[in-house]
Amino acid sequence: MTAACLGLGTNLGDRAAQLAEALIRLDAVDGIHLVAVSPVYRTAPWGVEEQPDFLNLCVRIDTGLSPPALLAACKAVEAAMGRQVRERWGPREIDVDILLMAGAELETPALTLPHPRMLQRRFVLAPLADLVPDWIVGGRTVAEHAVELGADDLCEWDEPESARVQALLSAL
């Protein structure tokens, strides 16, 4: 099994329920085992600003899947949950991105590992630093990258939604 981290986000519908459902669906995939889930962060939209705020979290998994097979599993979860292709940075029912896979560096048209834009995104680094602060990316720890990027009021820990996601996961 290989350790990996995924980033999840949603800004349509019952966002906490969407995140919980995606986690349950991922854990049900043969070859994926959820190890830990970060707190939930509320994130103001950027790129396309006229849309609801996002809820984002990261999850650490153990997987026996190859990077392309893991990507296919993530896309299958998105499709099963009704993800529609819209404008770039637009609203979404669910988004599941592979951020890191231990020991994997990859650049193909379909997948780049580590995720090529994760170090510029507070909504990725904040929950990722909560989950795996000591993992090394680009010669520095995730926590160091998060500190360098800094805090802002566009991405904040959302305690009530974190509790809702945990309650939804516990109920199943």
Choosing from 42, 83, 121, 122, which is the catalytic residue? 83
Choosing from 42, 60, 92, 122, which is the catalytic residue? 92
Vertex 167: Cα angle to 63 and 158 (nearest 5): 90
Element (H, E) at 163: helix 159-171
Choosing from 27, 53, 62, 95, which is the catalytic residue? 95
Choosing from 15, 60, 97, 164, which is the catalytic residue? 97
Q: Which of 9, 74, 1, 76 is nearest to 31 (CA)?
A: 1
95 given a catalytic annotation: yes
Burial class (CB in 10 A: 0-12, 13-18, 19+), 24: middle
Sign of CA dihedral 111, 150, 154, 58: positive
Name the maximum alpha-carbon separation found in the chain.
41
Q: Could you tell me the two tokens for 169? A: 């996961």
Residue type, 35: V
Helix (H/G/I), strand (E/B), else coil: 170: helix
25 given a catalytic annotation: no
88 given a catalytic annotation: no
97 given a catalytic annotation: yes
Residues annotated as catalytic are 83, 92, 95, 97
